[in-house]
Amino acid sequence: MRIVGNNPQLSRQTQGTASGAITGGKPVIVNTDGTVTQLGTVNTPSAGTPVNFEAAQVGQGGLPQGVFSAFDSSNNKVVITYRDFGNSSYGTAIVGTVSGTAISFGTPVVFESAETNYPSIAFDSNANKMVIAFQDAGNSNYGKAIVGTVSGTGISFGSVATFESATTSYISTTFDSNSNKAVIAYQDNGNSNYGTAVVATVSGTSISFGTPAVFESAQTVYIGTTFDSSNNKVVIVYQDLGNSGHGTAIVGTVSSTSISFGSAAVFNSATSNFPSCVFDNNSNKVVIVYNDRGNDNDAGYGANTAIVGTVSSTSISFGSEVVFGYGSTLYPAFDSNVNQVVVPYRDSDNSFYGTVKTGTVSGTSISFGSAIVFESNIISHITATFDNNSNKTVTAYQEDTTLGHGYAVVISSTGTNITSENFIGFAEDTVATGQPVTVNTKGTVDENQTSLTPGQQYFVQTDGTLGTSADSPSVVAGTAVTATKLIVKG
């Protein structure tokens, strides 16, 4: 007797218990506990090998804000700025090129031949230039800025310009792509340490400034900035020492060469160290990360915390706080390839090693996957930027075990749960987690497919789809017999 399709007398199907929801027709893997899971990407990052970009201390004393980075999308290069302790603490920049999971660097270039602090950087996508704002310790700690032009693996600079003729600290820079202006936020020691911001305009290799505007009439420290491209607003986060060190955010609107502000909003009613922020352009939310000293662990280190902010007009509101670790954190990045926030931090629960988690925003909340260690040494001065050419995040930091030398590592935000051995077949039905599921295994005709080409061999892709070329690892799915039927080979 000739049987077309699956022969019920043959043991070509297996029963399992679903770990996570499973959709009929999707490839599944078997877990080590015997359950089965739908194949796909997982919210766990991976890291390449750390690369030394400066064989000297790169941070700024006991302050965390010493290393900054930005991505030049016109040249597909990462630029890292820092103070080079091995060269009189001069302000220095270096260009990095990502290839796969590795990064290589050009030659460091000095942009300020004097002791330089807070060398914040942003990419001006209108002028295709880098804007670096910094404190010039060689000139009374004045606030200065300079324009950088990337070419190949190098960077050149225009002339330095002053935006604040007073001691200027805690500098953070972002680019407003609506007005095509850079915004520099800082603490103005010449005006009672008030939180202040100024609009900067790039023309060629020169930079000019509008009139500084106060956004917080109190002593303001640990300032971070981002641009909300959905609402065309600048968001500034900071620790407000005029309000018990509470974590605070404010929304700014750029008009020509000026900036105005809405009302400040507290996102954490406790001492909030090192607040910084990034815009998630998938959810159109601002993600703020900070160290909450109102929530210390047993060792006395504050909780690394994230909170989602929603901008509406000139206001910002917040979801619930989510703790993702302990120690300290700075400068997250947003991976627009997989729509995840990449948060590197030093983990006080694990010897202050360099650690990273990725978070996914849903509504006004954020959830995190598993942590991975990218540096098995003590680190500080952490910054991250997303390279949208390679779809990788570059994390730069000071590696304190080697006397503060500068290192960088490439972070891939997603992993996959497939190996060369754990694929077993395709789900027969759609089931919820914990429910029994039938899996069409080797030799079965799976009838839940779409848009196949008869006679074509298909491979399982790491994101759970099927393709006609092998992914890594290479896993054969089977051969199509019709547009909807696949003989499972496995």
Give the pLDDT confidence of 51-100 residue by residue, as tens digits.
Answer: 999 999 999 776 777 899 999 999 999 999 999 999 999 999 999 999 99
Chain mean pLDDT for the chain: 93
Residues 313-340: tens digit of each pLDDT:
999 999 999 999 999 888 999 999 888 9
Q: Mean pLDDT across the stretch 222-228?
A: 98
Check whether residue 447 and residue 307 sit in a common domain.
Answer: no
SS3 434: coil
Lowest model confidence (mean pLDDT) among 262-266, 349-353, 416-420, 439-443:
416-420
Task: Write the pLDDT tens digit of every residue in 380-432.
Answer: 999 999 999 999 999 999 999 888 999 999 999 876 778 888 999 999 999 99
- Length of the chain counted residue by residue: 490
Give per-residue pLDDT as tens, 119-171: 999 999 999 999 999 999 999 999 999 999 999 999 999 999 999 999 999 99
In a shared domain, residues 312 and 377: yes
Nearest to 202 by CA among 228, 173, 230, 224: 173
Over residues 1-7, mean pLDDT: 43
> Quick one: 175 and 205 in the same domain?
yes
Answer yes or no: is 149 within a domain: yes
Domain endpoint, select from 416, 449, 475: 416
Specify if 76 maps to a domain: yes
Residue 177 lies in a domain: yes
Q: Which residue has the tokens 């420290």?
A: 221
Q: How many domains does the chain have?
A: 2
Residue 1 predicted with pLDDT over 60:
no
CATH code for the domain of 260: 2.130.10.10
Query: Do 187 and 242 have their domain in common?
Result: yes
Task: Note the pLDDT of residue 2.
Answer: 40
Least confident of 6-15, 96-105, 204-213, 465-474: 6-15
Full domain range(s) for residue 443: 13-40+417-488
Cβ burial 210-239 (10 Å sphere, 16+ → b, else e): bebeebbebbbbbbbbbbbeebebbbbbbb
Angle (CA) 206 210 216, round 5°? 125
pLDDT band at 464 (very low <50, low <70, confident <90, very high): confident
Percent of the chain with pLDDT over 90: 83
**1 within some domain:** no
Residue that terminates a domain, selected from 381, 416, 451:
416
Based on the fold, state whether residues 336 and 436 are members of the same structural domain.
no
Whether 119 and 263 share a structural domain: yes
Are residue 387 and residue 421 in the same domain, yes or no? no
Full-model pTM: 0.83
Please check whether residues 23 and 52 belong to one and the same domain: no
Query: Is residue 6 domain-resident?
Result: no
Residues above pLDDT 70, as percent of the chain? 97
d(CA 174, CA 299): 35
pLDDT for the residue numbered 10? 46
In a domain, 292, yes or no: yes
pLDDT at position 462: 83
Nearest in space to 69 (alpha carbons), one of 104, 105, 120, 129: 120
Judge if 158 and 28 occupy the same domain.
Answer: no
Q: Are residues 269 and 408 in the same domain?
A: yes
- The per-residue pLDDT for 133 is 98
Evaluate whether 338 touches 413 at the Cβ level (below 8 Å). Answer: yes
Single out the residue of 237, 262, 247 nearest to residue 321, CA to CA: 247
Which tens digits make up the pLDDT trace of 366-377?
988 889 999 999
Identify the domain boundary among 416, 445, 461.
Answer: 416
One domain, residues 123 and 269: yes
Any alpha helices (H) in 184-334, and if so which ranges?
Answer: none
Of 309, 364, 301, 363, nearest in space to 329 by CA: 301
Taking a C-beta distance cutoff of 8 angstroms, is the pair 93, 72 a contact? no
In a domain, 3, yes or no: no
Together in a domain, 314 and 463 = no
In a domain, 8, yes or no: no
Range with lowest mean pLDDT among 118-127, 208-217, 473-482? 473-482
